[in-house]
Structure 1
Protein backbone atom coordinates (compact mmCIF):
# COMPACT_ATOMS: atom_id res chain seq x y z
CA UNK A 1 0.00 0.00 0.00
CA UNK A 2 1.53 3.29 -1.07
CA UNK A 3 0.30 6.20 0.93
CA UNK A 4 1.19 9.83 0.87
CA UNK A 5 1.23 12.37 3.64
CA UNK A 6 0.59 16.03 3.27
CA UNK A 7 2.47 18.46 5.50
CA UNK A 8 0.35 21.29 6.43
CA UNK A 9 0.72 23.75 9.23
CA UNK A 10 -2.88 24.05 10.07
CA UNK A 11 -6.06 22.06 10.00
CA UNK A 12 -9.86 22.34 9.67
CA UNK A 13 -11.76 23.95 12.51
CA UNK A 14 -15.22 22.53 11.84
CA UNK A 15 -18.14 21.66 14.05
CA UNK A 16 -18.40 18.18 15.45
CA UNK A 17 -20.96 15.90 13.84
CA UNK A 18 -20.66 12.19 13.18
CA UNK A 19 -23.42 12.26 10.61
CA UNK A 20 -22.57 12.89 6.96
CA UNK A 21 -23.10 16.53 5.99
CA UNK A 22 -22.72 18.60 2.87
CA UNK A 23 -21.98 21.64 5.04
CA UNK A 24 -21.34 21.38 8.81
CA UNK A 25 -24.01 22.92 11.04
CA UNK A 26 -23.30 24.84 14.21
CA UNK A 27 -21.61 22.43 16.60
CA UNK A 28 -22.42 21.64 20.16
CA UNK A 29 -19.70 22.56 22.62
CA UNK A 30 -17.64 19.62 23.84
CA UNK A 31 -18.70 18.22 27.20
CA UNK A 32 -15.92 19.06 29.70
CA UNK A 33 -14.22 16.35 31.72
CA UNK A 34 -12.90 16.74 35.25
CA UNK A 35 -9.96 19.08 35.56
CA UNK A 36 -7.88 16.35 37.15
CA UNK A 37 -7.47 14.78 33.70
CA UNK A 38 -6.24 18.02 32.08
CA UNK A 39 -2.67 18.40 30.88
CA UNK A 40 -0.64 21.59 31.13
CA UNK A 41 -1.47 24.15 28.46
CA UNK A 42 0.71 23.61 25.39
CA UNK A 43 0.92 25.16 21.92
CA UNK A 44 -1.89 24.10 19.61
CA UNK A 45 -1.57 21.11 17.32
CA UNK A 46 -2.64 21.53 13.71
CA UNK A 47 -2.10 18.22 11.93
CA UNK A 48 -3.41 17.07 8.57
CA UNK A 49 -2.63 14.02 6.49
CA UNK A 50 -3.64 11.91 3.52
CA UNK A 51 -3.40 8.15 3.96
CA UNK A 52 -5.56 5.09 4.42
CA UNK A 53 -7.40 3.54 7.31
CA UNK A 54 -10.54 1.79 8.52
CA UNK A 55 -13.40 3.15 10.63
CA UNK A 56 -15.83 0.67 12.18
CA UNK A 57 -18.99 1.64 14.11
CA UNK A 58 -21.24 -1.06 15.54
CA UNK A 59 -22.48 -3.57 13.00
CA UNK A 60 -22.23 -1.20 10.06
CA UNK A 61 -19.85 -2.09 7.20
CA UNK A 62 -16.34 -0.81 7.76
CA UNK A 63 -15.57 2.45 5.97
CA UNK A 64 -12.29 3.50 4.37
CA UNK A 65 -10.71 6.72 5.66
CA UNK A 66 -8.57 8.67 3.18
CA UNK A 67 -7.84 11.95 4.96
CA UNK A 68 -7.66 13.13 8.59
CA UNK A 69 -7.14 16.32 10.57
CA UNK A 70 -6.41 16.83 14.26
CA UNK A 71 -6.71 20.28 15.84
CA UNK A 72 -6.15 21.12 19.51
CA UNK A 73 -6.61 24.42 21.31
CA UNK A 74 -5.45 24.23 24.92
CA UNK A 75 -7.03 20.93 26.05
CA UNK A 76 -9.90 20.93 23.52
CA UNK A 77 -9.50 18.65 20.50
CA UNK A 78 -11.28 18.04 17.21
CA UNK A 79 -10.74 15.07 14.91
CA UNK A 80 -12.12 15.11 11.36
CA UNK A 81 -12.10 12.14 8.98
CA UNK A 82 -12.84 12.17 5.26
CA UNK A 83 -14.21 8.87 3.98
CA UNK A 84 -13.56 7.32 0.59
CA UNK A 85 -17.02 8.44 -0.58
CA UNK A 86 -16.10 12.06 0.20
CA UNK A 87 -18.24 12.43 3.32
CA UNK A 88 -16.92 13.79 6.64
CA UNK A 89 -17.21 12.53 10.21
CA UNK A 90 -16.12 14.53 13.24
CA UNK A 91 -15.52 14.09 16.98
CA UNK A 92 -14.79 16.38 19.90
CA UNK A 93 -12.53 15.38 22.74
CA UNK A 94 -10.14 16.35 25.50
CA UNK A 95 -6.34 16.13 25.42
CA UNK A 96 -5.41 14.03 28.46
CA UNK A 97 -1.68 13.59 27.78
CA UNK A 98 0.84 14.85 25.26
CA UNK A 99 4.52 14.46 24.45
CA UNK A 100 6.69 15.68 21.60
CA UNK A 101 5.58 12.75 19.41
CA UNK A 102 2.24 11.52 20.75
CA UNK A 103 -1.04 12.82 22.16
CA UNK A 104 -3.89 10.98 23.89
CA UNK A 105 -7.38 12.33 23.21
CA UNK A 106 -10.39 11.19 25.23
CA UNK A 107 -13.57 11.34 23.14
CA UNK A 108 -16.49 13.26 24.68
CA UNK A 109 -19.10 13.72 21.97
CA UNK A 110 -19.88 13.77 18.27
CA UNK A 111 -22.51 16.45 17.83
CA UNK A 112 -25.54 15.32 19.83
CA UNK A 113 -24.19 11.76 20.13
CA UNK A 114 -22.27 10.58 23.18
CA UNK A 115 -18.78 9.21 22.56
CA UNK A 116 -16.30 7.44 24.82
CA UNK A 117 -12.85 5.99 24.35
CA UNK A 118 -9.32 7.19 23.69
CA UNK A 119 -7.54 7.95 20.42
CA UNK A 120 -3.75 7.93 20.20
CA UNK A 121 -2.34 10.55 17.82
CA UNK A 122 1.26 10.06 16.65
CA UNK A 123 3.07 12.84 14.86
CA UNK A 124 6.52 14.14 13.97
CA UNK A 125 6.81 17.90 14.18
CA UNK A 126 3.72 19.08 12.30
CA UNK A 127 3.37 15.84 10.33
CA UNK A 128 0.54 13.48 11.27
CA UNK A 129 1.77 9.86 11.42
CA UNK A 130 -1.22 7.82 12.64
CA UNK A 131 -4.50 7.78 14.57
CA UNK A 132 -5.65 4.67 16.42
CA UNK A 133 -8.14 3.93 19.15
CA UNK A 134 -11.45 2.42 20.19
CA UNK A 135 -14.51 3.29 22.25
CA UNK A 136 -18.24 3.69 21.82
CA UNK A 137 -20.59 5.98 19.91
CA UNK A 138 -24.05 6.15 21.48
CA UNK A 139 -23.30 2.74 23.00
CA UNK A 140 -22.12 1.16 19.75
CA UNK A 141 -18.52 -0.16 19.54
CA UNK A 142 -16.17 2.18 17.70
CA UNK A 143 -12.67 1.56 16.34
CA UNK A 144 -10.30 3.51 14.09
CA UNK A 145 -6.96 2.65 12.52
CA UNK A 146 -5.47 5.29 10.21
CA UNK A 147 -1.85 5.50 9.02
CA UNK A 148 0.15 8.06 7.10
CA UNK A 149 3.23 7.31 5.01
CA UNK A 150 5.24 9.41 2.59
CA UNK A 151 6.28 8.30 -0.88
CA UNK A 152 6.34 11.70 -2.57
CA UNK A 153 9.51 10.73 -4.45
CA UNK A 154 8.04 7.55 -5.88
CA UNK A 155 4.74 8.58 -7.41
CA UNK A 156 3.19 11.59 -9.17
CA UNK A 157 1.61 14.29 -7.00
CA UNK A 158 -2.11 14.55 -6.37
CA UNK A 159 -3.91 17.85 -5.98
CA UNK A 160 -4.75 18.58 -2.36
CA UNK A 161 -6.67 21.32 -0.53
CA UNK A 162 -4.92 24.32 1.02
CA UNK A 163 -5.83 24.70 4.70
CA UNK A 164 -5.27 27.82 6.79
CA UNK A 165 -6.07 28.04 10.51
CA UNK A 166 -5.30 30.24 13.50
CA UNK A 167 -6.45 30.94 17.04
CA UNK A 168 -7.08 34.60 17.75
CA UNK A 169 -9.79 37.08 18.63
CA UNK A 170 -12.49 38.80 16.67
CA UNK A 171 -16.15 39.74 16.44
CA UNK A 172 -19.09 38.24 14.58
CA UNK A 173 -22.10 40.49 14.20
CA UNK A 174 -25.56 39.66 12.84
CA UNK A 175 -28.30 42.30 12.71
CA UNK A 176 -30.82 41.89 15.51
CA UNK A 177 -28.49 39.80 17.70
CA UNK A 178 -25.72 40.67 20.17
CA UNK A 179 -22.20 40.60 18.76
CA UNK A 180 -20.25 37.41 19.57
CA UNK A 181 -16.55 36.81 20.19
CA UNK A 182 -14.55 34.71 17.69
CA UNK A 183 -11.70 32.58 19.12
CA UNK A 184 -10.59 30.50 16.13
CA UNK A 185 -10.90 30.56 12.33
CA UNK A 186 -10.03 28.26 9.46
CA UNK A 187 -10.15 28.44 5.66
CA UNK A 188 -10.06 25.44 3.32
CA UNK A 189 -9.59 25.98 -0.43
CA UNK A 190 -10.04 22.96 -2.71
CA UNK A 191 -8.13 22.51 -6.02
CA UNK A 192 -11.28 23.60 -7.91
CA UNK A 193 -11.31 26.89 -5.88
CA UNK A 194 -14.40 25.94 -3.86
CA UNK A 195 -13.81 27.12 -0.31
CA UNK A 196 -15.07 26.96 3.25
CA UNK A 197 -14.56 29.62 5.94
CA UNK A 198 -15.35 28.52 9.50
CA UNK A 199 -15.33 30.66 12.64
CA UNK A 200 -15.49 29.27 16.17
CA UNK A 201 -17.33 31.38 18.74
CA UNK A 202 -16.44 31.73 22.42
CA UNK A 203 -19.50 29.63 23.33
CA UNK A 204 -18.07 26.66 21.37
CA UNK A 205 -20.37 26.92 18.36
CA UNK A 206 -18.97 26.96 14.83
CA UNK A 207 -20.38 28.98 11.94
CA UNK A 208 -19.37 27.69 8.49
CA UNK A 209 -19.55 29.66 5.25
CA UNK A 210 -19.25 28.12 1.80
CA UNK A 211 -18.07 29.95 -1.28
CA UNK A 212 -15.53 30.26 -4.06
CA UNK A 213 -11.98 31.58 -4.14
CA UNK A 214 -11.86 34.47 -6.63
CA UNK A 215 -8.29 35.70 -6.08
CA UNK A 216 -5.05 34.46 -4.46
CA UNK A 217 -1.72 36.22 -4.00
CA UNK A 218 1.31 35.39 -1.86
CA UNK A 219 -0.29 37.28 1.04
CA UNK A 220 -4.05 37.24 0.75
CA UNK A 221 -7.12 35.31 -0.45
CA UNK A 222 -10.47 36.69 -1.55
CA UNK A 223 -13.56 34.50 -1.22
CA UNK A 224 -17.06 35.07 -2.59
CA UNK A 225 -19.36 33.68 0.12
CA UNK A 226 -22.54 31.99 -1.10
CA UNK A 227 -23.91 29.90 1.79
CA UNK A 228 -23.82 29.18 5.51
CA UNK A 229 -25.10 25.68 6.21
CA UNK A 230 -28.64 25.65 4.79
CA UNK A 231 -28.84 29.45 4.79
CA UNK A 232 -28.04 31.80 1.93
CA UNK A 233 -25.05 34.10 2.33
CA UNK A 234 -23.66 36.84 0.14
CA UNK A 235 -20.53 38.95 0.43
CA UNK A 236 -16.75 38.93 0.07
CA UNK A 237 -14.23 37.65 2.62
CA UNK A 238 -10.65 38.96 2.61
CA UNK A 239 -8.15 36.65 4.32
CA UNK A 240 -4.52 37.67 4.94
CA UNK A 241 -2.21 34.76 5.67
CA UNK A 242 1.39 34.28 6.72
CA UNK A 243 4.04 31.60 7.34
CA UNK A 244 2.90 28.01 7.88
CA UNK A 245 -0.55 28.86 6.47
CA UNK A 246 -1.39 30.90 9.57
CA UNK A 247 -4.25 33.40 9.35
CA UNK A 248 -3.26 37.00 10.04
CA UNK A 249 -6.69 38.55 9.62
CA UNK A 250 -10.18 38.06 8.19
CA UNK A 251 -12.51 40.84 7.14
CA UNK A 252 -15.96 40.12 5.72
CA UNK A 253 -19.40 41.68 5.51
CA UNK A 254 -22.56 40.86 3.62
CA UNK A 255 -25.94 39.27 4.25
CA UNK A 256 -26.95 36.00 5.93
CA UNK A 257 -30.49 35.00 4.96
CA UNK A 258 -31.08 38.64 4.13
CA UNK A 259 -29.73 40.00 7.44
CA UNK A 260 -26.51 42.07 7.41
CA UNK A 261 -23.50 40.42 9.07
CA UNK A 262 -19.82 41.16 9.55
CA UNK A 263 -16.66 39.29 10.58
CA UNK A 264 -13.51 40.94 11.93
CA UNK A 265 -10.77 38.59 13.14
CA UNK A 266 -7.08 38.92 14.02
CA UNK A 267 -4.91 35.82 14.43
CA UNK A 268 -2.51 35.44 17.31
CA UNK A 269 1.15 35.94 16.43
CA UNK A 270 3.01 32.72 17.13
CA UNK A 271 5.87 33.14 19.57
CA UNK A 272 8.12 31.03 17.38
CA UNK A 273 7.13 29.85 13.93
CA UNK A 274 8.83 26.59 12.87
CA UNK A 275 11.15 27.00 9.96
CA UNK A 276 9.81 25.66 6.68
CA UNK A 277 13.34 25.36 5.31
CA UNK A 278 16.36 23.91 7.10
CA UNK A 279 19.02 26.47 7.91
CA UNK A 280 21.96 26.15 5.56
CA UNK A 281 24.92 28.04 4.23
CA UNK A 282 23.96 29.95 1.06
CA UNK A 283 25.12 28.27 -2.11
CA UNK A 284 27.75 30.20 -4.00
CA UNK A 285 26.70 31.56 -7.38
CA UNK A 286 23.62 30.66 -9.40
CA UNK A 287 22.32 27.11 -9.13
CA UNK A 288 20.29 25.39 -11.84
CA UNK A 289 19.19 21.75 -11.92
CA UNK A 290 18.48 19.96 -15.18
CA UNK A 291 17.03 16.64 -16.28
CA UNK A 292 14.78 14.89 -18.77
CA UNK A 293 11.40 13.17 -18.43
CA UNK A 294 10.75 9.84 -20.16
CA UNK A 295 8.42 11.51 -22.69
CA UNK A 296 11.20 13.77 -23.96
CA UNK A 297 10.48 16.99 -22.07
CA UNK A 298 13.72 18.51 -20.76
CA UNK A 299 13.53 20.66 -17.64
CA UNK A 300 15.66 23.36 -16.04
CA UNK A 301 14.79 24.23 -12.43
CA UNK A 302 15.99 27.58 -11.14
CA UNK A 303 17.02 28.41 -7.56
CA UNK A 304 16.57 31.79 -5.83
CA UNK A 305 17.88 32.18 -2.25
CA UNK A 306 18.05 28.39 -1.84
CA UNK A 307 14.44 28.04 -2.98
CA UNK A 308 13.22 26.62 -6.27
CA UNK A 309 11.10 29.24 -8.00
CA UNK A 310 10.26 27.76 -11.41
CA UNK A 311 10.86 24.99 -13.95
CA UNK A 312 11.52 25.79 -17.61
CA UNK A 313 10.32 23.06 -20.01
CA UNK A 314 11.56 22.40 -23.55
CA UNK A 315 10.97 19.66 -26.11
CA UNK A 316 11.76 19.48 -29.80
CA UNK A 317 8.75 20.48 -31.88
CA UNK A 318 6.80 21.82 -28.87
CA UNK A 319 6.26 25.29 -27.48
CA UNK A 320 8.46 25.97 -24.39
CA UNK A 321 6.59 26.54 -21.13
CA UNK A 322 7.29 27.55 -17.54
CA UNK A 323 5.92 26.06 -14.29
CA UNK A 324 5.90 28.48 -11.36
CA UNK A 325 6.65 26.69 -8.08
CA UNK A 326 5.45 27.30 -4.53
CA UNK A 327 6.90 25.71 -1.40
CA UNK A 328 4.49 23.09 -0.03
CA UNK A 329 6.19 21.33 2.89
CA UNK A 330 9.16 19.29 4.08
CA UNK A 331 8.65 15.55 3.69
CA UNK A 332 9.47 12.98 6.37
CA UNK A 333 13.13 13.02 5.27
CA UNK A 334 13.36 16.79 5.76
CA UNK A 335 13.49 17.45 2.01
CA UNK A 336 11.58 20.52 0.76
CA UNK A 337 8.70 19.74 -1.62
CA UNK A 338 7.52 22.33 -4.17
CA UNK A 339 4.37 22.20 -6.29
CA UNK A 340 3.14 23.81 -9.47
CA UNK A 341 1.43 22.91 -12.73
CA UNK A 342 2.28 22.25 -16.36
CA UNK A 343 0.24 24.61 -18.55
CA UNK A 344 -2.28 25.00 -15.71
CA UNK A 345 -3.60 21.49 -16.30
CA UNK A 346 -1.15 18.88 -14.98
CA UNK A 347 0.21 18.69 -11.43
CA UNK A 348 3.99 19.10 -10.99
CA UNK A 349 6.13 18.40 -7.90
CA UNK A 350 9.81 19.01 -7.22
CA UNK A 351 11.62 17.42 -4.27
CA UNK A 352 14.90 19.08 -3.23
CA UNK A 353 17.02 16.04 -2.30
CA UNK A 354 19.73 18.29 -0.84
CA UNK A 355 17.55 18.98 2.19
CA UNK A 356 17.19 22.69 1.47
CA UNK A 357 20.70 23.65 0.34
CA UNK A 358 20.78 23.09 -3.45
CA UNK A 359 24.33 23.36 -4.78
CA UNK A 360 26.64 21.95 -7.42
CA UNK A 361 26.48 18.16 -7.24
CA UNK A 362 23.16 17.90 -5.40
CA UNK A 363 20.04 16.39 -6.99
CA UNK A 364 16.32 16.96 -7.35
CA UNK A 365 13.40 14.65 -8.13
CA UNK A 366 10.74 16.02 -10.50
CA UNK A 367 7.33 14.36 -10.83
CA UNK A 368 4.57 15.18 -13.29
CA UNK A 369 1.12 13.65 -13.12
CA UNK A 370 0.84 10.76 -15.62
CA UNK A 371 4.49 11.24 -16.73
CA UNK A 372 6.23 9.70 -13.72
CA UNK A 373 9.40 10.87 -12.00
CA UNK A 374 12.88 11.91 -13.13
CA UNK A 375 16.11 12.58 -11.23
CA UNK A 376 17.86 15.87 -12.08
CA UNK A 377 21.41 17.08 -11.35
CA UNK A 378 22.35 20.53 -10.06
CA UNK A 379 25.30 22.63 -11.20
Structure 2
Protein backbone atom coordinates (compact mmCIF):
# COMPACT_ATOMS: atom_id res chain seq x y z
CA UNK A 1 0.00 0.00 0.00
CA UNK A 2 1.45 3.33 -1.06
CA UNK A 3 1.89 6.00 1.52
CA UNK A 4 0.62 9.45 0.70
CA UNK A 5 3.35 12.05 0.62
CA UNK A 6 2.20 14.92 2.73
CA UNK A 7 4.53 17.62 1.44
CA UNK A 8 5.37 16.96 -2.25
CA UNK A 9 6.43 20.55 -2.92
CA UNK A 10 9.36 20.32 -0.51
CA UNK A 11 10.68 17.28 -2.28
CA UNK A 12 10.47 18.94 -5.70
CA UNK A 13 12.12 22.06 -4.36
CA UNK A 14 14.90 20.04 -2.76
CA UNK A 15 15.46 18.12 -5.95
CA UNK A 16 15.64 21.25 -8.04
CA UNK A 17 18.44 22.57 -5.89
CA UNK A 18 20.53 19.57 -6.89
CA UNK A 19 19.83 19.72 -10.61
CA UNK A 20 22.74 21.09 -12.63
CA UNK A 21 22.14 24.29 -14.60
CA UNK A 22 19.18 25.31 -12.47
CA UNK A 23 19.61 28.86 -11.12
CA UNK A 24 16.68 29.29 -8.80
CA UNK A 25 17.69 32.74 -7.62
CA UNK A 26 17.97 33.98 -11.17
CA UNK A 27 14.63 32.45 -12.09
CA UNK A 28 12.94 34.04 -9.12
CA UNK A 29 14.46 37.41 -9.91
CA UNK A 30 13.36 37.17 -13.52
CA UNK A 31 9.84 36.37 -12.38
CA UNK A 32 9.53 39.07 -9.77
CA UNK A 33 11.65 41.71 -11.57
CA UNK A 34 11.13 41.52 -15.32
CA UNK A 35 13.93 43.15 -17.36
CA UNK A 36 13.44 46.84 -17.98
CA UNK A 37 12.89 47.91 -21.54
CA UNK A 38 15.81 49.85 -23.00
CA UNK A 39 15.00 53.49 -23.50
CA UNK A 40 16.61 55.16 -26.49
CA UNK A 41 16.92 58.94 -26.30
CA UNK A 42 17.25 60.65 -29.63
CA UNK A 43 19.99 63.25 -29.80
CA UNK A 44 18.72 66.42 -31.45
CA UNK A 45 20.36 67.35 -34.70
CA UNK A 46 22.08 70.58 -33.78
CA UNK A 47 22.92 71.21 -37.39
CA UNK A 48 19.22 71.66 -38.09
CA UNK A 49 18.37 73.50 -34.85
CA UNK A 50 18.95 77.28 -35.05
CA UNK A 51 21.13 78.69 -32.30
CA UNK A 52 19.60 81.47 -30.22
CA UNK A 53 21.79 84.55 -30.03
CA UNK A 54 21.71 86.57 -26.80
CA UNK A 55 20.90 90.14 -27.85
CA UNK A 56 20.31 91.35 -24.31
CA UNK A 57 23.67 93.15 -24.29
CA UNK A 58 25.57 95.34 -26.73
CA UNK A 59 29.37 95.29 -26.58
CA UNK A 60 31.33 97.51 -28.96
CA UNK A 61 34.96 98.57 -29.05
CA UNK A 62 36.55 100.76 -31.71
CA UNK A 63 39.92 102.42 -32.24
CA UNK A 64 40.04 105.85 -33.81
CA UNK A 65 40.63 109.52 -33.14
CA UNK A 66 38.87 112.02 -30.96
CA UNK A 67 39.28 114.74 -28.36
CA UNK A 68 38.52 114.78 -24.63
CA UNK A 69 38.33 118.23 -23.05
CA UNK A 70 38.05 118.98 -19.33
CA UNK A 71 37.71 122.45 -17.88
CA UNK A 72 41.03 124.04 -16.82
CA UNK A 73 43.05 121.24 -18.44
CA UNK A 74 44.63 120.72 -21.83
CA UNK A 75 42.69 118.70 -24.38
CA UNK A 76 43.80 115.07 -24.73
CA UNK A 77 43.52 112.88 -27.80
CA UNK A 78 41.18 109.86 -27.65
CA UNK A 79 42.58 106.68 -29.25
CA UNK A 80 39.75 104.18 -28.58
CA UNK A 81 36.27 103.93 -27.08
CA UNK A 82 34.17 101.03 -25.83
CA UNK A 83 30.44 100.86 -25.17
CA UNK A 84 28.55 98.20 -23.21
CA UNK A 85 24.78 98.23 -22.74
CA UNK A 86 23.10 95.78 -20.36
CA UNK A 87 19.58 94.43 -20.67
CA UNK A 88 18.40 96.78 -17.89
CA UNK A 89 19.07 99.80 -20.17
CA UNK A 90 22.20 100.89 -18.34
CA UNK A 91 25.46 101.50 -20.14
CA UNK A 92 29.17 101.79 -19.48
CA UNK A 93 31.40 103.89 -21.72
CA UNK A 94 35.19 103.78 -21.52
CA UNK A 95 37.43 106.15 -23.47
CA UNK A 96 41.15 105.45 -23.83
CA UNK A 97 43.38 108.52 -24.01
CA UNK A 98 46.70 108.94 -25.80
CA UNK A 99 48.52 109.20 -22.45
CA UNK A 100 47.25 105.66 -21.58
CA UNK A 101 44.66 106.91 -19.09
CA UNK A 102 41.08 105.67 -19.30
CA UNK A 103 37.89 107.52 -18.40
CA UNK A 104 34.81 105.54 -17.44
CA UNK A 105 31.24 106.85 -17.62
CA UNK A 106 27.96 105.16 -16.72
CA UNK A 107 24.32 106.06 -17.10
CA UNK A 108 20.86 105.17 -18.33
CA UNK A 109 20.21 104.64 -22.02
CA UNK A 110 17.46 105.09 -24.55
CA UNK A 111 17.71 104.04 -28.18
CA UNK A 112 16.46 105.98 -31.17
CA UNK A 113 17.02 104.16 -34.49
CA UNK A 114 20.82 103.76 -34.85
CA UNK A 115 21.64 106.20 -32.03
CA UNK A 116 21.89 105.41 -28.33
CA UNK A 117 21.64 108.30 -25.88
CA UNK A 118 23.14 107.87 -22.40
CA UNK A 119 22.03 110.13 -19.55
CA UNK A 120 25.13 110.14 -17.36
CA UNK A 121 24.93 109.31 -13.67
CA UNK A 122 28.56 108.87 -12.64
CA UNK A 123 32.18 108.50 -13.72
CA UNK A 124 33.70 105.83 -11.53
CA UNK A 125 33.45 107.18 -7.97
CA UNK A 126 32.98 110.76 -9.21
CA UNK A 127 29.73 112.54 -9.94
CA UNK A 128 28.86 113.12 -13.59
CA UNK A 129 25.89 114.49 -15.47
CA UNK A 130 25.15 115.27 -19.08
CA UNK A 131 24.53 113.26 -22.23
CA UNK A 132 26.58 111.12 -24.60
CA UNK A 133 25.19 110.06 -27.95
CA UNK A 134 26.64 107.01 -29.70
CA UNK A 135 26.08 105.83 -33.25
CA UNK A 136 27.28 102.48 -34.56
CA UNK A 137 27.25 100.37 -37.70
CA UNK A 138 28.46 96.81 -38.38
CA UNK A 139 29.49 96.33 -34.72
CA UNK A 140 31.74 99.41 -34.84
CA UNK A 141 31.28 102.77 -33.13
CA UNK A 142 31.07 105.43 -35.82
CA UNK A 143 30.52 108.40 -33.52
CA UNK A 144 30.52 109.26 -29.80
CA UNK A 145 29.95 112.84 -28.74
CA UNK A 146 28.49 114.79 -25.87
CA UNK A 147 29.29 116.97 -22.91
CA UNK A 148 28.40 117.46 -19.29
CA UNK A 149 29.84 118.10 -15.87
CA UNK A 150 32.42 115.85 -14.20
CA UNK A 151 33.00 116.61 -10.52
CA UNK A 152 31.73 120.18 -11.08
CA UNK A 153 34.01 120.69 -14.11
CA UNK A 154 32.66 120.94 -17.65
CA UNK A 155 33.85 118.30 -20.11
CA UNK A 156 33.23 117.36 -23.72
CA UNK A 157 33.88 114.24 -25.81
CA UNK A 158 34.10 114.10 -29.60
CA UNK A 159 35.09 110.83 -31.26
CA UNK A 160 34.71 109.54 -34.81
CA UNK A 161 32.59 111.20 -37.45
CA UNK A 162 28.94 112.14 -37.19
CA UNK A 163 27.33 110.81 -40.36
CA UNK A 164 24.87 113.72 -40.17
CA UNK A 165 27.62 116.34 -39.86
CA UNK A 166 27.12 117.60 -43.41
CA UNK A 167 23.37 117.77 -43.95
CA UNK A 168 23.76 119.08 -47.51
CA UNK A 169 25.30 115.74 -48.53
CA UNK A 170 23.65 113.21 -46.23
CA UNK A 171 20.31 114.54 -45.04
CA UNK A 172 17.78 117.24 -45.90
CA UNK A 173 18.99 120.65 -44.78
CA UNK A 174 16.25 120.94 -42.19
CA UNK A 175 17.35 117.75 -40.39
CA UNK A 176 19.12 118.46 -37.10
CA UNK A 177 20.32 115.40 -35.22
CA UNK A 178 21.39 116.50 -31.77
CA UNK A 179 21.45 119.55 -29.50
CA UNK A 180 22.67 119.82 -25.93
CA UNK A 181 23.57 122.58 -23.55
CA UNK A 182 24.72 123.19 -20.00
CA UNK A 183 23.04 126.17 -18.38
CA UNK A 184 20.42 127.30 -15.91
CA UNK A 185 16.71 126.99 -15.72
CA UNK A 186 13.61 126.18 -13.71
CA UNK A 187 11.32 123.17 -13.95
CA UNK A 188 7.90 123.72 -12.36
CA UNK A 189 5.34 120.97 -11.82
CA UNK A 190 2.08 121.57 -9.96
CA UNK A 191 2.12 120.02 -6.51
CA UNK A 192 5.93 119.94 -6.32
CA UNK A 193 8.65 122.40 -5.42
CA UNK A 194 10.47 124.16 -8.26
CA UNK A 195 13.63 122.36 -9.42
CA UNK A 196 16.80 123.84 -10.93
CA UNK A 197 17.77 122.64 -14.41
CA UNK A 198 21.46 121.96 -15.13
CA UNK A 199 21.38 120.81 -18.76
CA UNK A 200 19.05 119.96 -21.63
CA UNK A 201 19.29 117.69 -24.66
CA UNK A 202 17.19 117.40 -27.84
CA UNK A 203 17.53 114.57 -30.37
CA UNK A 204 15.51 114.59 -33.62
CA UNK A 205 15.36 111.66 -36.04
CA UNK A 206 14.62 111.50 -39.76
CA UNK A 207 10.86 111.23 -39.15
CA UNK A 208 10.89 114.49 -37.13
CA UNK A 209 10.31 112.56 -33.90
CA UNK A 210 12.00 114.33 -31.00
CA UNK A 211 13.46 113.08 -27.73
CA UNK A 212 14.06 115.71 -25.05
CA UNK A 213 16.05 115.23 -21.85
CA UNK A 214 15.82 117.69 -18.94
CA UNK A 215 18.51 117.14 -16.28
CA UNK A 216 17.86 118.61 -12.84
CA UNK A 217 20.48 119.49 -10.28
CA UNK A 218 19.10 116.84 -7.91
CA UNK A 219 20.15 114.18 -10.49
CA UNK A 220 16.56 113.62 -11.67
CA UNK A 221 16.06 113.41 -15.44
CA UNK A 222 12.74 114.10 -17.16
CA UNK A 223 12.43 112.65 -20.65
CA UNK A 224 9.84 113.84 -23.15
CA UNK A 225 8.91 112.74 -26.65
CA UNK A 226 7.18 114.74 -29.32
CA UNK A 227 6.87 115.70 -32.97
CA UNK A 228 8.51 118.65 -34.71
CA UNK A 229 5.78 121.02 -35.91
CA UNK A 230 8.01 123.88 -37.14
CA UNK A 231 11.67 124.46 -37.84
CA UNK A 232 13.66 127.31 -39.35
CA UNK A 233 17.21 128.61 -39.17
CA UNK A 234 16.89 129.64 -35.53
CA UNK A 235 13.97 127.88 -33.83
CA UNK A 236 12.30 124.48 -33.49
CA UNK A 237 8.77 123.91 -32.18
CA UNK A 238 7.90 120.48 -30.77
CA UNK A 239 4.43 119.22 -29.88
CA UNK A 240 4.89 117.00 -26.82
CA UNK A 241 3.20 113.58 -26.82
CA UNK A 242 4.58 111.62 -23.86
CA UNK A 243 7.02 111.52 -20.96
CA UNK A 244 8.31 108.02 -20.32
CA UNK A 245 5.26 105.94 -19.35
CA UNK A 246 3.26 109.07 -18.50
CA UNK A 247 1.02 111.17 -20.71
CA UNK A 248 2.28 114.60 -21.73
CA UNK A 249 0.98 117.40 -23.91
CA UNK A 250 2.08 120.92 -24.65
CA UNK A 251 4.47 122.97 -26.76
CA UNK A 252 8.25 123.15 -26.49
CA UNK A 253 10.14 125.96 -28.22
CA UNK A 254 13.87 125.70 -28.84
CA UNK A 255 16.18 128.51 -29.97
CA UNK A 256 19.54 127.19 -31.15
CA UNK A 257 22.88 128.63 -32.16
CA UNK A 258 26.27 127.62 -33.52
CA UNK A 259 27.71 124.13 -32.93
CA UNK A 260 24.30 122.69 -32.01
CA UNK A 261 24.12 124.85 -28.90
CA UNK A 262 20.81 125.73 -27.24
CA UNK A 263 20.32 129.41 -26.48
CA UNK A 264 16.87 129.08 -24.93
CA UNK A 265 14.35 126.31 -24.30
CA UNK A 266 10.82 126.94 -23.08
CA UNK A 267 7.92 124.54 -22.65
CA UNK A 268 4.53 124.44 -20.99
CA UNK A 269 1.74 121.90 -20.90
CA UNK A 270 0.49 119.02 -18.78
CA UNK A 271 2.37 116.04 -17.42
CA UNK A 272 0.02 113.26 -16.28
CA UNK A 273 -2.69 115.90 -15.95
CA UNK A 274 -0.53 118.28 -13.87
CA UNK A 275 0.51 121.66 -15.38
CA UNK A 276 4.25 122.09 -15.87
CA UNK A 277 6.60 124.83 -17.06
CA UNK A 278 10.19 124.72 -18.31
CA UNK A 279 12.36 127.83 -18.74
CA UNK A 280 16.03 127.29 -19.63
CA UNK A 281 18.91 129.34 -21.07
CA UNK A 282 22.63 128.79 -21.44
- TM-score scaled by length of structure 2: 0.49
Q: Which structure shows the bigger proportion of residues in helix conformation?
A: 2
Name the TM-score, length of structure 1 as normaliser: 0.38
